Chain A
Amino acid sequence: MKSLAELQAIKDRMKSKVALREGYGEIRVVVGMATCGIAAGARPVLNTLVEEVNNAGLYEKVSVSQTGCIGFCQLEPIVEVIEAGKEKVTYVKMTPEKAKEVVEKHLKGGKVVTEYTVAGAN
Chain B
Amino acid sequence: MKEISLNILDIAENSVKAKATLVEITVTETAYTLTLTVKDDGTGMTKDVLLSVTNPFYTTRTTRKVGMGIPLLQFAAEQTGGNIKIESKHFSEYPDEHGTTVTALFYKNHIDFTPLGDVISSVTTLIQGHPETDFLYKHSFSDKTVMLDTREIRAVLEGVPLDTFEVLIWIRDNLREQYDENQ
Contact = CB atoms under 8 A, between A and B. Distances in A.
A38 B170 contact: no
A59 B165 contact: yes
Contacts of A18: 160
B170 A2 contact: yes
Interface in B1-19: 1, 6, 9-10, 13
Contacts, number: 81
User: Chain B binding site: helix, strand, loop or mixed by DSSP?
Assistant: helix
Interface in A1-57: 1-2, 4, 6-8, 10-11, 13-15, 18, 33-36, 38-39, 43-44, 46-47, 50-51, 54
Contact of A38 (B10, B64, B153, B157): B10
A56 B165 CA distance: 12
A51 B165 CA distance: 8
A33 B13 contact: yes
A1 B156 CA distance: 17
Contacts of B10: 35, 38-39
B174 interface: yes
Nearest to B173: A2
A74 interface: no
Interface string A92-121: 000000000000000000000000000000
Interface of B: 1, 6, 9-10, 13, 64, 67-69, 72, 118, 121-122, 124-125, 128-129, 152-153, 156-160, 164-168, 170, 173-174, 177
A13 B152 CA distance: 19
9 contacts: A4-B156, A7-B157, A11-B160, A35-B68, A35-B69, A39-B10, A43-B6, A43-B9, A54-B165
Nearest to A14: B160
Contacts of A35: 10, 67-69, 72
Nearest to A55: B165
Contacts of B69: 35
A2 B174 contact: yes
A39 B72 CA distance: 10
Given A7-B153, A15-B159, A66-B129, 8 more contacts: A2-B174, A2-B177, A10-B166, A13-B166, A33-B129, A38-B6, A46-B128, A65-B129
Nearest to B128: A50
Contact of A10 (B1, B152, B170): B170
